[in-house]
Amino acid sequence: MARTRTYLDWNATAPLSAVARAAMMTALELPGNASSVHNEGRAARSAIDRARRQVAALVGADPAHATFTSGATEAANHVLTPNFRMGKAPLVVSHLHVSAIEHPAVREGGRFGADQVSEIAVTSAGVLDLASLEEALKAHDRAEGLPMVAVMLVNNETGIVQPVVEAAKLTHAHGGLLICDVTQAVGRMPVDINLLDADFLFFSSHKIGGPKGVGALVSRGEVLMPAPLIRGGGQEKGHRSGTENFFSVVGFGAAAEAAATDVAERNEAIMALRDDLEREMRLAAPDVVIHGADVARVPNTTFFTLPGLKAETGQIAFDIEGISLSAGSACSSGKVGESYVLTAMGQDPKTGALRISLGPETTTEDIQRAAAAFGKIAARRKPADTAA
């Protein structure tokens, strides 16, 4: 049977991969609780330990420094807190600085009070303004506590790569902690917590072909750790209590191992498809604006504005044509609103933008269908709407 739908919303969630599905089916046969000491419990613990190694390897970390969570949102709320411990001694973080284009899970500030959170501007190109970050850090009062800076490696709407290494250098020069959301980066570019010089990073399983509802918070070490968000039975070394989401953790591990394999070759093919699509879009509508086209992006993302076409109208039009894509990020319970990312870039957010995101299973035929749909939708705009 011919396919009637084309899925181009991989940044929202990736379809469950075959390797993750197979790993989870095998895990379904293991009845034990990983905290039990009998044979069945040890088998479950062994499966979790393997998944932890697989997930840690994806970001160049020590498996002992990876904590499983219910996803990136929980991980963000875990690590974004004023309350840390350096060994057994309490350590206070007094202010959180977040880039203006962070995911809402970070922009909400976690466990910081509203008066303890401030935004750092980005340039018109959608890249963190390092000069603004340095000014904010210079103004920070160290007597009140340490500064914390949260900068994502790849923006979820635009796909633009952020200067995390440079931000980490500035942050550490002022005695602060650097937190990095790598959710949209893993599997799409090399990620290494040590090379990034990040103190903590986090990501979700379902962006790389694993199951939904599981993620990880990864640290550089275990001496400096945030106060637990969830307390109870002491699982995950006390960092995140509660019986592990066993089957999902195992699937996450399998997906992470697959995502770490042949990254360069896979992404080269995906970039070629994206470039073909953007070429066809420009031919069909020369006035199309592709945000971030002149700066570093991950190879799978196209975030574009078609003048005269509102984002919500465009999303519905593409859906009718059988194309699944997003109007911005899929993080607001299905709501389509003005893009705060466009606002931060100094763009008019009223028209909005649409996001096409590709994955390892995207085909040339998918790109041809999307280009054809784009051409039809662009042609239906009123002549006045397409004027420069």
Q: What residues act catalytically?
A: 331
Find the distance separating the first CA and the last CA of the chain, reported in whole Å.
43
- Residues 6 or more apart from 139 whose CB is under 8 A from it? none
Structure tokens at 368: 């041809």
Q: Give the C-alpha distances (Å, rounded to integers) separating 148 from 2, 81, 110.
A: 51, 9, 12
Residue 106: φ, ψ to 5°: -95, -40
- In this structure, are residues 332 and 104 in contact, taking their beta carbons and an 8 Å threshold? yes
Structure tokens at 161: 């790569």
Task: Please list, residue by residue across 51-81, b when 16 or more beta carbons sit within 10 angstroms of its beta carbon and e when fewer do.
Answer: bbbbbbbbbbbbeebbbbbbbbbbbbbbbbb
Q: Which of 32, 59, 36, 33 is nearest to 215 (CA)?
A: 59
Residue 321: φ, ψ to 5°: -80, 0
Distance CA 178, CA 180 (A): 7
